[in-house]
Amino acid sequence: AVVGLTGGATYLTPAAAWSAHVTQPQAAGVSVAIWLLCYLLPHTSAWIATLGLLAASAFLSLYVAAAAAAAVVGFYFFPQAMLLLLAFAAWALFLLAVPKICVFLTEFCTLAYFFPKGGPFGHVVLLCLLIAYDSPVLLLPFSAFLTLLWLYPRVTLAVVALAVCLLLLPLLRSAKARLLLLLESPYGAGTAPDRVRSGEAAVELVLSGAGSGEKGAQTHYDVLNSHRAAPPSELKSCYRRMALLL
């Protein structure tokens, strides 16, 4: 999890908002330092992460921080019981949110636990029968597939997984492009206001109180004579210009 998170953050650094302050080599160095800390001092790094989360939750709400502290103490003294309670709570929330899918997955996992091979295979057989109910011509290829799945489950599942990955590859590329576009401009394109060119106009803009915020309130973007979608470099330029004019 740590390698995936830090690796993803390093990969997305050139398109992220913090790229103006942190370069990709610097992000890679920080990621390597975090990896070494987690590898050499696993317990210390876990406690640092826990204390950081507690501090963040305390900043948000004292009640959330108290609940998080109680959970940490419970996990420290009763790890198995707390994991069971956490799993039951997650299952109950899932049941309330999507009951039909939760019941199906519960039944599937129960059969797979007691019948590791027969339970999943029986569900695949039922799925093939449902698909071939209106198209009997599919019974023959489904029979061959089920035979291969029963005799050579790993090879058959590997071929199916490869086919699914090939089908999902264009979708993943499109999602990556959309994610990079979102990181580049999270607030959209935006429209820059007319540039202030004199000190009197800058003072009038700052003291006017009218802006683009809620109910026409002035925001810090209005004070800088900029807009919310402006990149960091443009905001710095607006700050320097307004500082010189004022």
Per-residue pLDDT tens for 66-76?
777 887 778 77
CA–CA separation, 79 vs 164, rounded Å? 38
> How sure is the predictor about 144, in pLDDT bands with cuts at 50, 70 and 90?
very high
Residue-level pLDDT at 62: 76
3 state DSSP class of 217: strand
215 has a pLDDT exceeding 60: no
- Report how far residue 222's alpha carbon sits from residue 194's, in angstroms, rounded to the nearest whole number: 11
Q: Which residues are registered as beta bridge partners of 210?
A: 217
pLDDT for residue 212: 56
Using CB atoms within 10 A of its CB, is residue 139 exposed (0-12), middle (13-18) or buried (19+)? middle
Please write the tens of the pLDDT for every residue from 150-192: 999 899 999 999 999 999 999 988 988 888 877 776 666 667 7
Q: What tens digit of pLDDT does each residue of 43-89 get?
A: 888 778 777 777 777 777 777 777 778 877 787 788 888 888 888 88
- In eight-state DSSP terms, residue 132 is T
Burial degree of 172 (CB within 10 A; 0-12, 13-18, 19+): exposed
Whether residue 37 is predicted with pLDDT greater than 80 in this model: the reply is yes
Contact at 8 Å (CB) between 17 and 229?
A: no
The Cα 229–Cα 227 span in angstroms is 6
Query: What average pLDDT does this structure show over 101-119?
Result: 89
Mean per-residue pLDDT, 210-233: 68
pLDDT of 94 over the 80 cut = yes
pTM exceeds 0.75, yes or no: no
- Residue 210, helix vs strand vs coil: strand
What's the whole-number average pLDDT of the chain?
81
What is the model's pLDDT at position 211?
A: 55
CB under 8 Å to 120, separation ≥6 — which residues? 108, 111, 112
22 compared with 164, residue with greater pLDDT: 164
Q: What's the DSSP call for residue 134? A: S
pLDDT in tens, 195-212: 777 777 777 777 776 555
Distances from the Cα of 242 to the Cαs of 6, 193, 221, in angstroms? Answer: 37, 14, 12
Note whether 212 and 221 are within 8 A (CB).
Answer: yes
